[in-house]
Chains A and B, each alone.
Chain A
Amino acid sequence: MGYLIEHPDRVFELTKQHVELVAISVAFAMLIGIPVGVLITRLRWLEGPIIGTAGILYTVPSLALFAIMIPYTGLGRTTVVVALALYSLLAIVRNTVAGIDGVPPAALDAARGMGMTGRQRLFIIELPLALPVILAGVRIATVAAIGIATVAAVVGVGGLGRLIFDGMRTLNTDRILAGAIVSSLLALLADWGLAWLGGYLRRDIALARLER
């Protein structure tokens, strides 16, 4: 714990970088993953190929993925963000599909029968009801990305992995611990925060949409 107390500014700076990396990556993954998940529920034959590809990507070791990508995306943020986003896709796509599949068919039938358009059904019924499941996917993706992002330090983008790699090089356990503890705390915080958000949002989003 010594390092944490002696260099709070440095730890804070690296934590900020870490959060930024993860946030940007997961945001990209959501931007792509949720629409792709919705698309799968409309065009079912896409499910096998897309989930399969995302699954294979997920099994590639992170260090190897960084190494593979460096020739194309360079030593830097782009590589890390693309890699983390790719890892996050699987959980987000899969949970989006599962969430929409879990919407009660009777509610959807009633929505159609009452004259909601396809878009209204998606935004008022399907996505709000699927939201807790989608957010569960985002949580899984975020928690995993916070861990994987520590490896990103090898590409030279900072983050809490910096402390761990520096600690390994200088045999400074204090630094390794500081990096590990803060990154674990981050993961817990993200997990808890996203869970809270899920319960809070869904009705308000749906009602706001209904009046448009």
Chain B
Amino acid sequence: MDALIAKLKTQIIEQLNLEGVSPEDISPDDSLFGEGLGLDSIDALELIVLLEKNYGLKIENPAEGKKIFYTIRSIAEYITANGKA
């Protein structure tokens, strides 16, 4: 799980072009949207594509997406639960 979290942090920083943010700056339990990392709806679309492209996971239910993208740990758990880690 730790290796997957570290990999996800790097992929998210790269995909969302989070300039000046290093993997160490992001806690796996920080909320990604709102108060935490401050991501927005466009970032959510980027994350959906990231999951599909890199892990072959399609998120079609918006309500499900809210839960999955809550933190980096929740994304890692979703990937693991679907056997894509």
**Binding between chains A and B:** no
- The chain A residues found within 8 Å of chain B, CB to CB, are none
